[in-house]
Amino acid sequence: MPLALKSAGSNATNRLPVLAGAVAATVGLARRGAIPWKRTLETAGPITLGAAAGALLSERIPGHDLRIVIVAAVTVALVLILTNLKKLLNSAAKGDAKVDWKVMLLLFCVGVWTGFIVLDAGTYMLLVLVLVADFALPEANALRNVATATATAVAIFAGHESVDWTTGGVMALGSVAGGLLGARLAISDQARRWIVGLLVVVIVGELANLSIRYFAHLLY
């Protein structure tokens, strides 16, 4: 995804593989009975509303340069994971996870980011659900996939004819495979380690890529 949203189409098209991967992971988890549907209704609402608001905002300011904001957001996500590794790896179902107004507000904010940029939105969902709401990491991961599978932002971008369906469709094929594989790993005995490990690897890769492109842009 470009560092600067010079084209609304690049931001919109990027949603297709994200949506496809989330839908594939949701189907895989649902088949294994790993989705807490009651909890899903509690958490998906504010995220979906926020995503709609974020997508509408993105369509209004498609040319805004967000390089620094995006790099900062990825960096913050990495720092939050690394400073909370113990809690993330040791998170377990305690039966006392609670979705109160504070969690709802944070999920709405994450939803806005999901609709506006989407980069690392899933990471922030996990952090809110595990660190603030005290969900077990595997359960939080299932909730994240279901919430991300909502097509609200894609529908808004499609309505504005901002989506390149050919390019997005090709990327979506890879995301489907990744989503199905992720669903298998998410219910394994080492689910927490897989989830946290992959998050760290992906975010470090994102940060390196974004930083290189950012400094290259400054030079040229």
Do 139 and 36 meet the contact criterion of CB atoms below 8 Å apart?
A: yes
The backbone torsions φ and ψ at residue 132, rounded to the nearest 5 degrees and listed phi first, read: -105, -45
Task: Give pLDDT, residue 35.
Answer: 84
3-state secondary structure of 34: coil
Task: Give pLDDT, residue 106.
Answer: 94
d(CA 201, CA 43): 26
The backbone torsions φ and ψ at residue 150, rounded to the nearest 5 degrees and listed phi first, read: -70, 140
Closest CA to 107 of 135, 75, 69, 67: 135
The 3-class SS string of 124-167 reads: HHHHHHHHHCCCCHHHHHHHHHHHHCCCHHHHHHHHCCCCCHHH
Task: Give pLDDT, residue 86.
Answer: 79
Q: What is the pTM of this model?
A: 0.73
Contacts of 89 (CB under 8 A, 6+ apart): 137, 192, 193, 196
Rg (CA), the chain: 17
Task: Give pLDDT, residue 107.
Answer: 93
CA distances from 137 to 2, 169, 181 (A): 30, 30, 17
pLDDT in tens, 150-204: 777 777 777 767 777 777 777 777 777 777 676 666 666 566 677 777 777 878 8
d(CA 29, CA 50): 24
Report residues of the chain scoring pLDDT below 50: 1-6
What does the angle CA 14 – CA 125 – CA 15 come to, to the nearest 5 degrees? Answer: 10
